[in-house]
Amino acid sequence: MSEADPIAAPRMRKPDWIRVKAPVSAGYAETRKLMRRLNLATVCEEAACPNIGECWTKKHATVMILGDTCTRACAFCNVKTGMPRAVDPLEPEHVAVAAAELGLTHIVVTSVDRDDLSDGGAGQFVKVIEALRRNTPATTIEILTPDFRNKAQAAVERIIEARPDVYNHNLETVPRLYPTIRPGARYYASLRLLESVKRHDPSIFTKSGIMVGLGEQRLEVHQVMDDMRSADVDFLTMGQYLQPTPRHATVEEFVTPDAFRAYAAIARAKGFLLV
Q: Is the pLDDT of residue 61 over 80?
A: no
On whether residue 106 sits in a domain, the answer given is yes
On whether residue 236 sits in a domain, the answer given is no
On whether residue 127 sits in a domain, the answer given is yes
The 10 Å Cβ neighbour count of residue 232 is: 14
Q: In total, how many domains does the chain have?
A: 1
Nearest residue to 6 (alpha-carbon basis) of 255, 257, 241, 256: 241
On whether residue 141 sits in a domain, the answer given is yes
On whether residue 234 sits in a domain, the answer given is no
Residue 54, pLDDT score: 62
Nearest residue to 254 (alpha-carbon basis) of 236, 239, 265: 239
Q: Is the pLDDT of residue 274 over 60?
A: yes
- Helix, strand or coil, per DSSP, at residue 262: helix
Provide the whole-model pTM. 0.87
Confidence of residue 7 (pLDDT cuts 50, 70, 90): very low
On whether residue 217 sits in a domain, the answer given is no
Supply the range of the domain harboring residue 81: 6-207
CA 158 to chain centroid: 20
What CATH number did the domain enclosing 59 receive?
3.20.20.70
> What mean pLDDT is predicted for residues 174-200?
95
On whether residue 178 sits in a domain, the answer given is yes
Residue 226, pLDDT score: 99
Per cent of the chain over pLDDT 70 is: 84
Q: What pLDDT, in 10s, does the model give residues 206-264? A: 999 999 999 999 999 999 999 999 999 999 999 999 888 888 899 999 999 999 999 99
Does residue 48 or residue 220 have the better pLDDT? 220
> What mean pLDDT is predicted for residues 49-67?
70
Residue 5, pLDDT score: 45
Confidence of residue 156 (pLDDT cuts 50, 70, 90): very high
Residue 53, pLDDT score: 56
- Helix, strand or coil, per DSSP, at residue 230: helix
Q: What pLDDT, in 10s, does the model give residues 101-129? A: 988 888 999 998 898 999 999 999 999 99
On whether residue 44 sits in a domain, the answer given is yes
Confidence of residue 202 (pLDDT cuts 50, 70, 90): very high
Is the distance from CB of 123 to CB of 64 less than 8 angstroms? no
